[in-house]
């Protein structure tokens, strides 16, 4: 056959005859870096009408997926799935390195098709469903780490919601104490920071640190890290022949990043997730990473729904992503957060932040045709008379009854509290469920 999709399905069924015995696999419905997902129904129901059949999503994991990672994903689905809007697993089949998870199928559309189309009530129901799922996952001490629209499936007609894809989920690891600031005690021993930095080119890295003792990596990652640490320590203590060597941080003297800091080993921290949904603590490589990583991503999804913009953040790398956050939340807020996480962010200019309400109002307004020759702002890509970047934006605090861009004030206040840059004060899923935007719901 010259249909590559049919060919793929055929190959899978040959490798996994058990799957073929039970299921009819119809077509591919999803594809990521780590899996392909197919629509299937039961062979014994092949005589039934389409509407009578039970439908399944078959997730075929790439054979290179680490066994410990696969085991963890399966364990998450098994322990937490099947309730509170979290996908469950019906069956797992394996033959050598071919592994599939069989899950109930939920019809859904692409987020981009409904992002600008949901009214306040529908947005509240959607956010409530997402936060119910997150509260459930978090109660197990698990961080999903890849909360985003394509992992939260929404059956709009039947008002059903499913959080899927635990391929990056991690257990919460208690944060190690941060080292004292370098200029106080430069010889202080650094705590061991775990590294799950992606190799170049990889979309994401899936390494569950808590699973490491059971894994069988040919070269233990921890050993690689240790070697690296020793080397950098040695280098740091070796004076360069005769040259004056800074022995402590001098950033404040030069108003930038000093030579001493330039030579410090880069911080390392988990950064698994998807661009555009990473919170400040991940972008800042802080070890303070907990379930608040997920509620930030929920905040990004809410911001998308309020402004009818997807993707909401577009930066291609972590440093630009931080700059983008400074644009939205203000540079002072980002710098404060960084300081409380033991990091320092040096920005070339200061930004006051953009009021989410004004942004929603502006972005939801029908586009005004810009006169020809109107310069387009290179930052926000809006015609310059409408550009938000040039004017400093003062936070507008409306009263509780005010409706902006079709949404009550409470919707913006929830978004702001989920997009709190400091992970320690960010709203948890449980707290968010008690927010007026969601408790005022009468469904
Ligand atoms: P990946 O790790 O490759 O991202 P996911 O589990 O997120 O895998 O699945 C990829 C896509 O497959 C999803 O975005 C969704 O479109 C589709 N999908 C996954 N599970 C289901 C399901 N239970 N029902 C319907 N579609 C699904
Ligand atoms: Mg996914």
Report, as an integer, the average pLDDT of 54-81: 95
- Residue 203 annotated as binding site: no
What is the CA(92)–ligand 1 centre distance, in A? Answer: 16
What is the reported pLDDT for 178?
Answer: 57
Q: Which atom of ligand 1 is nearest to the CA of 34?
A: 3
- Give the model's pLDDT for residue 227: 26
Chain-wide mean pLDDT for the chain? 83
pLDDT category at 233 given cuts 50, 70, 90 is very low
| % pLDDT > 90, the chain | 63
Cα distances (Å, whole numbers) of residue 381 to 14, 374, 376, 377 = 50, 12, 6, 5
- What pLDDT, on a 0 to 100 scale, did the predictor assign at position 42? 98
User: 236 C-alpha vs ligand 2 centroid, how far in Å?
Assistant: 41
- Across 263-270, average pLDDT: 84
Q: Which pLDDT score is estimated for 382?
A: 72
Residue 201: pLDDT over 50: no
Pocket mutation for ligand 1, best pick of 5, 29, 89, 145 (most atoms within 8 Å of C-beta): 29
Does the pLDDT of residue 343 top 60, yes or no?
Answer: yes
Contact 389, 379 (CB under 8 A): yes
Residue 392 confidence (pLDDT): 54
Query: Above 60 in pLDDT, residue 375?
Result: yes
**pLDDT beyond 70 at 231:** no
Predicted confidence band at 196 (pLDDT cuts at 50, 70, 90)?
very low
pTM: 0.81
Q: How many angstroms does the Cα of residue 181 sit away from the middle of ligand 1? A: 44
Predicted local confidence at residue 402, as pLDDT: 81
Please state the length of the chain: 443
**153 bridge partner residues:** 162
Q: Is the pLDDT of residue 439 over 50?
A: yes
Range among 98-107, 347-356, 433-442 rated most confident: 98-107
Q: Ligand 1: which of 31, 37, 92 to mutate, judged by most atoms within 8 Å of the beta carbon?
A: 37
Q: Which of 160-169, 205-214, 246-255, 401-410 has the lowest mean pLDDT?
A: 205-214
Tell me: the pLDDT tens digits for 295-307? 999 999 999 999 9
| Region of poorest pLDDT, from 161-165, 222-226, 397-401, 406-410 | 222-226
Q: Which residue has the higher pLDDT, 225 or 169?
A: 169
Whole-number pLDDT of residue 95: 95
CA distances from 23 to 55, 63, 87, 93, 105 (A): 10, 21, 19, 12, 13
Mean pLDDT of 331-339: 95
Bigger pLDDT: 199 or 274? 274
Position with higher pLDDT, 2 vs 318: 318
Does pLDDT of 186 surpass 50?
no
pLDDT band at 281 (very low <50, low <70, confident <90, very high): very high
Which residue has a Cα nearest atom 21 of ligand 1?
A: 57
Higher pLDDT: 216 or 128? It is 128
Q: What is the mean pLDDT of residues 152-169?
A: 97
What's the confidence (pLDDT) of residue 175?
64
The confidence score (pLDDT) of residue 256 equals: 75
Of the given ranges (8-17, 171-180, 198-207), which has the lowest mean pLDDT?
198-207
Comparing 61-70, 204-213, 401-410, which segment has the lowest mean pLDDT?
204-213
At 197 the pLDDT is 38
Give me 14's structure tokens: 């040959």
Q: Say if residues 340 and 422 touch (Cβ distance below 8 Å).
A: yes
Higher pLDDT, 373 or 73: 73
CA of 32 to the centre of ligand 2 (A): 6
Q: At what angle do helices 409-418 and 292-307 cross, to 10 degrees?
A: 140
Q: Which position among 3, 146, 327, 373 bears the catalytic label?
A: 146
Ligand 1 residue neighbourhood (C-beta within 6 Å)? 29-30, 32, 34-35, 37, 57, 59, 87, 103-106, 150-151, 153, 164-165, 167
195 is catalytic: no
């Amino acid at each position: 056959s010259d249909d590559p999709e049919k060919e793929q399905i055929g190959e899978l069924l040959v490798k996994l005859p058990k799957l073929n015995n039970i299921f009819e696999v119809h077509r591919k419905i999803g594809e990521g870096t780590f899996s392909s997902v197919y629509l299937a129904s039961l062979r014994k129901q092949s005589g039934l009408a389409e509407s009578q059949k039970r439908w399944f999503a078959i997730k075929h994991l790439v054979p290179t997926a680490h066994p410990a990672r696969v085991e963890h994903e399966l364990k998450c689905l098994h322990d937490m799935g099947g309730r509170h809007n979290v996908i469950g697993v019906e069956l797992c089949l394996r033959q050598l390195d071919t592994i599939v998870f069989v899950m109930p199928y939920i019809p859904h559309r692409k987020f981009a098709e409904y992002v600008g189309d949901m009214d306040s009530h529908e947005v509240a129901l959607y956010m409530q469903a997402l936060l119910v799922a997150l509260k459930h996952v978090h109660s197990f001490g698990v961080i999903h780490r890849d909360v985003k629209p394509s992992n939260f499936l929404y059956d709009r007609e039947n008002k059903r919601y499913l959080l899927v894809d635990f391929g990056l989920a991690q257990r919460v690891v208690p944060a190690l104490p941060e080292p004292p600031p370098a200029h106080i005690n430069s010889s202080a021993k650094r705590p061991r920071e775990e590294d799950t930095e992606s190799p170049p080119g990889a979309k994401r890295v899936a390494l569950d640190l808590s699973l490491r003792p059971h894994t069988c990596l040919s070269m233990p990652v921890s050993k690689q890290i240790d070697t690296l640490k020793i080397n950098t320590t040695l280098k740091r203590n070796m004076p360069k022949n005769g040259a004056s060597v800074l022995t402590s941080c001098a950033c404040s003297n030069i108003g930038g990043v000093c030579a001493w800091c330039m030579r410090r080993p880069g911080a390392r921290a988990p950064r698994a997730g998807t661009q555009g949904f990473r919170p400040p603590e991940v972008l800042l490589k802080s070890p303070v990473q907990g379930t608040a990583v997920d509620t930030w991503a929920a905040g990004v999804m809410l911001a998308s729904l309020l402004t009818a913009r997807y993707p909401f953040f577009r930066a291609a790398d972590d440093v630009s992503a931080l700059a983008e956050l400074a644009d939205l939340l203000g540079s002072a807020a980002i710098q404060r957060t960084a300081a409380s996480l033991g990091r320092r962010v040096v920005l070339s200019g200061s930004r006051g932040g953009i009021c989410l309400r004004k942004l929603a109002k502006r972005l939801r307004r029908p586009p005004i045709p810009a006169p020809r020759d109107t310069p387009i702002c290179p930052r926000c890509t809006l015609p310059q008379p409408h550009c938000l970047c040039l004017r400093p934006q003062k936070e507008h605090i409306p009263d509780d009854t005010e409706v902006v861009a079709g949404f009550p004030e409470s919707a913006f206040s929830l978004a702001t509290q989920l997009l709190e840059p400091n992970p320690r004060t960010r709203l948890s899923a449980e707290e968010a469920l008690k927010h007026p935007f969601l408790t005022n719901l009468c469904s």
